[in-house]
Amino acid sequence: MELTVTQENLARALTAVGRVASTKTQLPILSNILLRTDKNRLLIAATNLEIATTQYIGAKVVKPGAITIPARLVSEFISNLPNGQVDLKVTNDNLHIKSGNYSSIINGVIADDFPELPTINESSSIRYSVKTEDFKQAVSQTIITASNDSTRPVLTGVYWHSHEGQLVLAATDGYRLSERQLVATTSEVSAIIPTQTLQEVMRTITDDGEEVDILFDETQVRFRINEAEIISRLIDGNFPDYRQLIPKKSDTTVTIAKPEFVRIVKIAGLFARESGGSINLTADEDNKNLSIHSIASELGENTSEATVKVKGSGQITLNSRYLTEALSVIEGDEIEFSFSGKISPCIIKSTDKNTNYYHIIMPLRS
Amino acid sequence: MHHALWQSVLGEIELSVSHATFTTWFKNTELVDQNESGVVIAVPNIFAKKQFEIKFNDQIKGVLAKNGITPKQITYTIITNGKKTRVNRETTPTGEQQTADELLGTPTKNMYTQNAPLTQAGGLNPRYTFDNFIVGSSNDLAYTASQAVAANPGVKYNPLYLYGGVGLGKTHLMQAIGNEITKTQPGARVVYISSETFVNEFLDHIRFKKKGFSDKYRNVDVLIVDDMQFIAGKEKTQEEFFHTFNHLHQNNKQIIISSDKPPKSIPTLTERLRSRFEMGMTIDVQMPDFETRCAILKAKASLSGIELGQETVEYLANNIKTNVRELEGALNQLLAYAEMRGISPDISTAEGLLGNVRHSRPQHITSKQIIERTAKHFQLQVDEVCGSKRDKYIVVPRQIAMYLLRSELHLSFPKIAGELGRKDHTTAIHSVEKIEKAIKLDFLIREQVASIREKLYA
């Protein structure tokens, strides 16, 4: 293999791919990156047998070929080089890298030992094209409520499925739940994508204005953004039927400006660190008032109030961290916050009808 | 049928590829179907599927041919948890219906409660395997011997006798042997019982004249008996067990026994059983050292999907030294507490919690520790202290040990006599009284007792 690429392209691709190469595995070659010529391009890939990520960069190929090299060393070396041309050449399983005054030889392993990268049958799969802004927003809105408890694998991913003509994303960790409608769909999809995969895709998205091409197969999913490709397995199992948990109606509904809500929740949260984030919210219809109370037995206590629109008075105790996180991903300037007494879940969403997102939090027992 | 064929294919392939390659790709594969049109092999994920199709296909074809099968084609299908995955399911998933409470439990619920252990035939719990047993210097001998037994049951180390304190992993090892044997030799009859079950079944057999008792245990390939000490003092049961033992041993069937003491120290064990227990391999499972405790904590935490900081791990390992079960208890408590409060399980949380763990319970010592400490203090072997010699240099330490058993653990006199291999409890009464008196008069004895006691609680 012999070729020339630019340092900028190679460094970017290596860092993106290198994150997936893992050192914690039985198979030593998985900590390597695969370099392979593909016509006039260089394919750079890594896998941890859950995800495989691939980047293509333009190259002047003199002699086609392939090699694998340790991920960490090569990406650190390349990213420290000055901008400009980089010459890569393979002789006897070693990769010679030369750029200006810098040259090094990295011991590699022949590419035959590298696992085959999975491929997806495009014709038999379901395809979606989503604007990157929408994709980023929808994923970040749902991924925060996914569980990291590996004893319940189905909850450690985001559930992508079709429902009433929409592609819907949902995730829950048992304490809170979020749901977002992404695009209209006519096909039927039901797939749980691991959070790690989605995080990897999010990191791969660089500029807005692109499109994310998503392809669902029976057991795998592929994301393609420009020249980058991420293929991942899906989590096996059935996602719980979460829709039955959505409160049909609420006794109390509070409408409040988002900045103000964020501020009083944050302040109350300062006094709730000791009690596991527990803050007590009281809505008063007559006084048009929402007050949040929190107590830290040794430090003191706090009551913050805001003037709001209230329909039906009521009280609820929530974890301030969950509430803060929910508010951080909801769009719009005004929030509708509704609940029914101290034991039913509360539902939080924007008053803007175009947002297609809601967040549910279970109350704390108080 | 398919299983045996695939086993022999795997056996052959294992020899030709590296260990890492074999465990990464060939574990959890199965031959699911074989007919005129070809064979179907189940693989766990898309990566394995691709790898098999491209890299291993020819090799598998070759090995299948050696076994007399030349399929037209080999297809690979992804099977997880024994069922095929599908993408176009009904829009609302059915099955696994969960109620609101189960799914969105209130955050005060402890998330770390694990599923009830699944028991399978033979009394084995599949969760105990060699893979999840953590080996350190304190238990590597026991571990190695157990693996040897699992690899060649009935050949090496028969019987295998494991002893040690509570919560050190005896049951885990024995279950792992059983599970390993059932896995590698699917036809083998492995029976795991506690000696108490054996006693109860034997009593039923006598009382209700139930039939088939002797056959039940004499027709097995591997007999695993946990907590053998409970058989002590039950003459008839011991006799029955003696015959079972002989029968199995003569037919080269593997016997594995655990107890809290070495055979010598179980007081009312009949001589013929004792000598039989000692003829195989007798291994002491000891308390894990600091590094092993750290490793155990990390492994357990990552099972719950939590990464613990090194500081926290060291803190826990430093503060809980007595047994593994307690170590796990403290870890679970920490994780549950952190989850409940929505905070991270770091060192400050651990300190806050363990503070009360440590102060609320007295230092935990066992009779074994007392005897060991005393023997060590006088530079004697435990065997000597528990032995029958009556030289003065042994007799006094022996009496001190009895005194300490009485004063520290409040054991009954017959129990004390039993601990030291004595049958007569009056010896114990005499010894304790003698040392009590001596402490008042003899400076040397007083100092020695105090010094041993100090080391016990150090």
Residue A45 lies in a domain: yes
Is A365 in CB contact (< 8 Å) with chain B?
yes
Residues A92 and A158 in one domain: no
- Name which of B447, B379, B367 is nearest B409 in CA terms: B367
Q: Which of A217, A241, A343 sits opposite B93 (nearest CB)?
A: A241
pLDDT for A197 = 93
Residues A70 and A181 in one domain: no
- Domain end position, chosen among A211, A244, A277: A244
Residues A19 and A83 in one domain: yes
The Cα B82–Cα B76 span in angstroms is: 14
The chain-wide mean pLDDT, for chain A, equals 89
- Number of domains composing chain A: 3
Residue A272 lies in a domain: yes
Distance from B12 to chain A by nearest Cα, in Å?
A: 20
CB distance A67 to A95 below 8 Å: yes
Neighbouring C-alpha atoms within 13 Å toward the C-beta of B38:
11
Residues A234 and A251 in one domain: no
Q: Do A174 and B111 touch (CB under 8 A)?
A: yes
The Cα A28–Cα A50 span in angstroms is: 16
Tokens of A284: 């008063």
SS3 label, residue A200 = helix
> Considering only alpha carbons, which residue of chain A is nearest residue B53?
A116
**A10 — pLDDT class (breaks 50, 70, 90):** very high
Residue A34 lies in a domain: yes
Q: What is the pTM of this model?
A: 0.56
Distance from B382 to chain A by nearest Cα, in Å?
A: 44
Is A49 in CB contact (< 8 Å) with chain B?
yes
Residue A265 lies in a domain: yes
Residue A263 lies in a domain: yes
Residue with the larger pLDDT of the pair B320 and A175: A175
Is A276 in CB contact (< 8 Å) with chain B?
yes
Residues A198 and A252 in one domain: no
Q: Which of B21, B46, B53 sits opposite A220 (nearest CB)?
A: B46
Residues A104 and A168 in one domain: no
Q: Do B20 and A26 touch (CB under 8 A)?
A: yes
Residues A136 and A91 in one domain: no
Give the model confidence (pLDDT) of A54-108 as tens digits: 999 999 999 999 999 999 889 889 989 999 999 999 998 899 999 988 999 999 9
Q: Do B94 and A151 touch (CB under 8 A)?
A: no
> Considering only alpha carbons, which residue of chain B is nearest residue A173?
B104
Q: Do B24 and A363 touch (CB under 8 A)?
A: no
3-state DSSP helix/strand/coil % of chain B, to nearest 5 = 55, 10, 35
Beta bridge partners of B297: none
Name the B residues in 389-448 with CB < 8 Å from any A CB: none
- Name which of B304, B298, B240, B314 is nearest B110 in CA terms: B304
Is B17 in CB contact (< 8 Å) with chain A?
no
Burial classification of residue B72, based on how many CB atoms lie within 10 Å of its CB (0-12 exposed, 13-18 middle, 19 or more buried): exposed
Long-range pairs, B93-96, Cβ under 8 A, ≥24: B93/A190, B93/A238, B93/A239, B93/A240, B93/A241, B94/A238, B94/A241, B95/A238, B96/A237, B96/A238, B96/A240
Q: Do B87 and A117 touch (CB under 8 A)?
A: no
- Domain end position, chosen among A69, A84, A113: A113
Is B108 in CB contact (< 8 Å) with chain A?
yes
Residues A199 and A139 in one domain: yes
Residues A298 and A311 in one domain: yes
Residue with the larger pLDDT of the pair B336 and A171: A171
Question: Which residues of chain B does A322 touch, with a Cβ-Cβ cutoff of 8 Å?
Answer: 342
Residue pLDDT tens, chain B, 458 long:
677 888 888 888 888 888 888 888 887 888 888 887 788 888 888 888 888 888 888 888 888 888 888 888 888 888 765 444 333 333 333 333 233 444 444 443 333 222 323 334 467 787 788 888 888 777 888 888 898 888 888 887 888 998 887 778 888 888 899 888 888 887 788 888 888 888 888 888 887 776 677 777 888 888 898 888 888 778 888 888 888 888 888 888 899 999 888 888 777 778 888 888 888 888 888 777 788 888 888 888 877 777 777 888 888 887 777 778 888 888 888 888 777 777 777 777 777 777 654 443 445 778 888 888 888 888 888 888 888 888 888 888 999 999 988 888 888 888 888 888 888 888 889 989 999 888 877 777 887 888 888 777 76
> Is the Cα dihedral A147, A150, A151, A154 positive or negative?
positive
Residue A238 lies in a domain: yes
- Domain end position, chosen among A244, A278, A305: A244
Residues A275 and A323 in one domain: yes
Distance from A362 to chain B by nearest Cα, in Å?
A: 6
Site from B47, B57, B348 to mutate, A interface, most A CB atoms within 10 angstroms: B47
Q: Is the pLDDT of residue A8 over 80?
A: yes
Give the model confidence (pLDDT) of A213-262 as tens digits: 999 988 899 999 988 999 999 998 889 888 888 888 889 999 999 999 99
Q: Do A240 and B98 touch (CB under 8 A)?
A: yes
Residues A71 and A149 in one domain: no
Is A363 in CB contact (< 8 Å) with chain B?
yes
Q: How far is CA A329 from CA A181, A268, A325, in A?
A: 14, 19, 7
Question: Which residues of chain B does A239 touch, with a Cβ-Cβ cutoff of 8 Å?
Answer: 93
- CA angle B21-B26-B29, nearest 5°? 165
Is B82 in CB contact (< 8 Å) with chain A?
no
* Residue A146, domain extent: 122-244
CB distance B112 to A152 below 8 Å: no
SS3 label, residue B99 = coil
Beta bridge partners of B12: none
> Considering only alpha carbons, which residue of chain B is nearest residue A360?
B104
Residue A333 lies in a domain: yes
Residue A366 lies in a domain: no
Q: Which of A161, A236, A362 sits opposite B104 (nearest CB)?
A: A362
> Is the Cα dihedral B377, B378, B384, B389 positive or negative?
negative
Distance from B319 to chain A by nearest Cα, in Å?
A: 24
CATH number of the domain enclosing A336: 3.10.150.10
> Considering only alpha carbons, which residue of chain A is nearest residue B55?
A116
Question: Which residues of chain B does A222 touch, with a Cβ-Cβ cutoff of 8 Å?
Answer: none
Residues A239 and A130 in one domain: yes
